[in-house]
């Protein structure tokens, strides 16, 4: 008797799950269907936060770059810059208007033959993150609409707006009035050697496994500066702000005991003022061509002259 009840229970569960999956995959039950735009190639023309800006106050830029095409109700094609061709991805319907493809979640906000609007969202477990990671709207225009109606190019439409420029000017004025306030520069600081006794290397921290995109290279720029003929041997990793004039201010020295931090900061500020200022042309970071204070991490290595 108990075995029969258990069998019946499992059958009900299986039927319920199948029915749930059937409803989930039934396009007629969704607010949007991709069928009307099947076979139309779209290019992303803008990617904005909810305030309609491409930048946030930390300097992170939402850069439009995607090219997509619906191949079927469950298949999305997207352009792969690495493979230089369109790649197929399973277009998985999740819930509400949320879909997943190319390892990203999107909430569909608008579909027409001329344009698409997706909200790019961050999903943690089964919950949509209610923070800046989900505060991104992507607008796509059909290639035919761009060419025949707007009579322009996707590249032209992707340029930052006047509102973006005004925002960056305002942020730059805000941080440049201070000594250590900063935001990430879209074009990071450059160190150009003026002497053969110094050299510099900028590191890339892009890591697909850690989901570190190319944005990490300008949001968190890292350098190694080596100075020959220094007054003594030293090697310290420093957090620094390079201001809009190219002057470096040491904010912190990493990896030293708390009671030694202030002394090491004074020491490394001296290195920055004497060696780096005189042996490099330091070009400040810029965003939209506007110079402003920006933060960097730099390993500064000094090598003293070895006595015979």
pLDDT at 50: 87
Coil, strand or helix: which one is 10?
helix
* 114-130 pLDDT per residue, tens: 999 999 886 555 544 45
pLDDT at 26: 54
pLDDT at 260: 94
pLDDT at 3: 55
pLDDT at 97: 83
Q: How far is CA 154 from CA 122, 129, 158, 177, in A?
A: 26, 30, 6, 37
Domains of the chain: 28-159 (2.40.128), 164-304 (no CATH)
Dihedral, 79, 82, 84, 85 alpha carbons, nearest 10: -40
Burial 227-261 (b: 16+ CB within 10 A, else e): beebeeebebbbebbbbbebbbbbbebeeeeeeee
Tokens describing residue 14? 């299986």
Could you give phi then psi for residue 135, rounded to 5 degrees? -100, 55
* 76-91 pLDDT per residue, tens: 999 988 889 999 999 8
0.85 cut: is pTM over it? no
Low-confidence ranges of the chain (pLDDT < 70): 1-30, 122-134, 210-211, 308
In this structure, are residues 283 and 221 in contact, taking their beta carbons and an 8 Å threshold? no
pLDDT at 123: 59
pLDDT at 22: 46
pLDDT at 2: 55
């Amino acid at each position: 008797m108990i075995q029969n009840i258990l069998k019946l229970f499992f059958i009900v569960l299986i039927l319920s799950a199948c029915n749930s999956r059937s409803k989930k995959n039934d396009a007629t039950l969704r607010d949007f269907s991709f069928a009307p735009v099947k076979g139309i190639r779209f290019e992303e023309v803008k990617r904005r936060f909810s305030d309609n800006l491409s930048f946030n106050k930390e300097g992170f830029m939402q850069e439009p770059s995607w090219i997509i095409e619906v191949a079927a109700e469950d298949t999305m094609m997207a352009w792969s810059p690495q493979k230089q061709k369109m790649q197929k991805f399973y277009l998985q319907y999740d819930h509400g208007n949320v879909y997943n493809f190319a390892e990203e979640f999107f909430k569909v906000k608008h579909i027409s033959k001329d344009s698409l609007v997706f909200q790019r969202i961050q999903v943690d477990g089964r919950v949509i993150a209610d923070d800046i990671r989900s505060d991104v709207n992507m607008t796509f225009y059909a290639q035919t609409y761009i060419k025949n109606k707007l009579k322009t190019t996707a590249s032209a439409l992707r340029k930052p707006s006047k509102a973006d420029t005004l925002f960056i000017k305002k942020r730059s004025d805000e941080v440049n009035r201070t000594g250590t306030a900063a935001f990430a520069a879209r074009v990071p600081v450059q160190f150009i050697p003026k002497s053969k006794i110094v050299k510099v290397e900028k590191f890339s921290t892009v890591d697909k496994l850690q989901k570190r995109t190319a944005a990490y290279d300008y949001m968190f720029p890292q350098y190694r500066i080596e100075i020959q003929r220094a007054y003594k041997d030293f090697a310290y990793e420093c957090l620094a702000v390079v201001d809009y004039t190219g002057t470096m201010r040491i904010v912190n020295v990493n990896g030293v005991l708390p009671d030694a931090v202030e002394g090491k900061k004074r020491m490394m500020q001296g290195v920055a003022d004497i060696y780096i200022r005189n042996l490099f042309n330091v070009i400040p970071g810029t965003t939209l061509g506007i110079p402003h204070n920006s933060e960097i991490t730099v390993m500064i290595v000094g090598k003293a002259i070895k006595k015979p």
